[in-house]
Amino acid sequence: MKKTNNEKLKIIPLGGMNQVGMNITLFQYKDDIVVVDCGIAFPGEEMLGIDLVIPDASYLKMHLKKVRGFVITHGHEDHIGALPYILKDVNVPVYGSRLAIGLVENKLKEHGMMGSTTRKSVSAGQKVKLGQFNIEFIRTNHSIADAFALAITTPAGTIIHTGDFKIDYTPIHGRAIDLSRFAELGRQGVLALMADSTNAERKGYTMSESTVGKSFDMIFEEKKGRRLIVATFASNVDRVQQIVNAAKHYRRKVIVQGRSMVNVVGTASELGYLKMPKNMLTEIGDIGKYKDGQVVLVTTGSQGEPMAALSRMAAGTHRFISIQEGDVVILSSKPIPGNEKYVSKVINDLYRRGAEVIYEDTHVSGHAHQEELKLLHTLVKPQHFIPVHGEYRHLKKHAELAENLGLKKQNIFILDNGDALEIGQSGGAIVDKIACQPLLVDGLGVGDVGNVVLRDRQKLSQDGLIIVVVTIKKGTLEIVSGPDVVSRGFVYVRESSDVMDDAQKVVVKTLEKCQEKNIRGWAKIKNEVRQSLREHLWQTMKRNPMILPVIMEVD
């Protein structure tokens, strides 16, 4: 009989659980920590003015000496986007595919961090030793080339982490997922499987990415002579390749628009992931040299992002392109939940300008549906299962799927961000909770916008702001000038002079009262002004703006 193995390791997701995006999970065995992915999330609607959300790396900073490296599954923003921020504090080597590392390097260049960081490209099948960890990179399929699953082996056993994946027998770049390697590892014994849950609610199989190529061909054929504009995710290099293929076949020049699209197309071409005939790529400034039927524009903005190239074309604010009668716009993506209304606005704007909009048939998902998940589970035959990547409903559905395949409930763990799962041959348990409040990035500021600032922004966005400026004589409360009442986002002043006049009177009265009662001290006076104005506005208008009194003293 085999000796029982009492070794255990810890799995701690710092992000990516019960949310879409910000994937980051750390694995700890004794004095070694390995981190899988380091992504961003896009801000929720309530996070006003926030550009992006990054994970809290306090735990890694605290255990800095133990951290052996970041291991990247693929080059999507929700898996690599936070690296420039986190590497500033946790500067350890980053391992990933050539494409993923190329995309990481784009970011590091922007942050001036190329010289201070270490990156290492790996290929499918390769193994890397990090402390007591052995990491093997396994080829999968996804909506970006060179996506890897990971086999993470420690003395406690092997964990398989799928990253984002689907099963595509006819992928655009590279080969089909290495199913036989999953099967081999399954035969050797897998302590736990962590697998992509994004599409755990969807039945059947995802279509192959190559089916999209046929749709493009049909559209290019049918819309001969008309200007074509295709919007998709910059990171979906395989999709861009298929647009290029159709362009080649139908003799169109390709023009790339949008900063991230230009970046990704550049990197992917350089590294050989995107193959384009020489002279096919054309500058936007030269578009006038070609007839409508001789060009195709590939652009960002398929999610209706207001600042992206497509939205600007639709709004008529793009520097070079305005949408005109006869244009054909193809949205080659699906709105991410929450983005539907932005996408809808862009579609309306495009139609209004006379374009024809095609928003079906040119997209397939990059994430496994139920039947693909079942195949993977069956090959890997894990002792334990941890659903990853998704909102709670997706994790729950994926857990049910594993249960239906015969795994016992007590061997399935739905984790929350910060949960420390200790796991070994004898089972698993959540033994600790790590604080990991995500950090908000606003421009150059990281983490300096907290809940208080967000609450202010929400209040301002809902109720507006009133500023009262008054100058008083030093030592007395005699008004020298003002009070001036200024408002933003509260009422339109020109049509509401009464409101502003009344507000002014209230302030004057309050200052008189303060004098009578001999109230001194700025804080107190300001408070009185704020209070009386708030009561007045609530009584007369049932409104509650933010009130900011400014009191100046002169001699």
Which residues have a catalytic role annotated? 196, 367
Q: How far is 507 from 490, CA to CA, in rounded Å?
A: 18
DSSP codes of every residue in 425-470: TTEEEEEEE---PPEEEETTEES-S-HHHHHHHHHHHHH-EEEEEE
CB of 199 to Zn ion, least distance (A): 12
CB of 144 to Zn ion, least distance (A): 6
CB of 142 to Zn ion, least distance (A): 6
CB of 234 to Zn ion, least distance (A): 13
Q: How far is 470 from 218, CA to CA, in rounded Å?
A: 69
CB of 523 to Zn ion, least distance (A): 49
250, 226 contact by CB (below 8 A): no
89, 57 contact by CB (below 8 A): yes
215, 332 contact by CB (below 8 A): no
- Which of 245, 365 has the CB closer to Zn ion? 365
Q: Which span sits near Zn ion by CB under 5 A: 162-170, 171-179, 267-275, 357-365?
A: 162-170
CB of 23 to Zn ion, least distance (A): 6
Of 329-368, binders to Zn ion (CB under 5 A) are none
493 DSSP 8-state letter: G
Q: Are strands 52-54 and 32-36 parallel, antiparallel or unpaired?
A: unpaired
Cα-Cα end-to-end distance for the chain: 93
Q: How far is CA 3 from the centre of its chain?
A: 45
CB of 80 to Zn ion, least distance (A): 10
Owner of token pair 């054929």: 221
- Which of 68, 74 has the CB closer to Zn ion? 74
- How many of the chain's residues bind Zn ion (CB under 5 A)? 3
- Which of 194, 321 has the CB closer to Zn ion? 194
Long-range contacts from 101-108, C-beta under 8 angstroms, 24+ separation: 101/72, 102/75, 102/267, 102/268, 102/270, 102/271, 103/75, 103/235, 103/264, 103/267, 104/72, 104/75, 104/80, 105/267, 106/263, 106/267, 107/80, 107/81, 107/83, 108/83, 108/84
Buried b (16+ CB within 10 A) or exposed e, 194-206: bbbbbbbebeebb
CA triplet 306, 307, 308: central angle to 5 degrees? 95
Provide the 10 A C-beta neighbour count for residue 279: 7
377 lies in the site for Zn ion, by CB under 5 A: no
- Which of 76, 227 has the CB closer to Zn ion? 76
Range list of β-strands (E), 188-292: 192-196, 228-231, 253-257
Helices (H), 141-258: 179-188, 210-222, 237-249
CB of 51 to Zn ion, least distance (A): 19
164 lies in the site for Zn ion, by CB under 5 A: yes
- Which of 250, 273 has the CB closer to Zn ion? 273
Q: Which span sits near Zn ion by CB under 5 A: 164-172, 376-384, 430-438, 453-461?
A: 164-172
Q: Which span sits near Zn ion by CB under 5 A: 121-129, 156-164, 339-347, 417-425?
A: 156-164
- Which of 145, 407 has the CB closer to Zn ion? 145
- Which of 164, 238 has the CB closer to Zn ion? 164
- Which of 145, 191 has the CB closer to Zn ion? 145
Q: How far is 546 from 530, CA to CA, in rounded Å?
A: 9
Of 69-128, binders to Zn ion (CB under 5 A) are 76, 78
E strand or H helix at 54, and its extent?
Answer: strand 52-54
- Which of 145, 229 has the CB closer to Zn ion? 145
Of 37-76, binders to Zn ion (CB under 5 A) are 76
Q: How far is CA 47 from the centre of its chain?
A: 13
CB of 379 to Zn ion, least distance (A): 21
Applying CB under 5 A, the residues found at the interface with Zn ion are 76, 78, 164
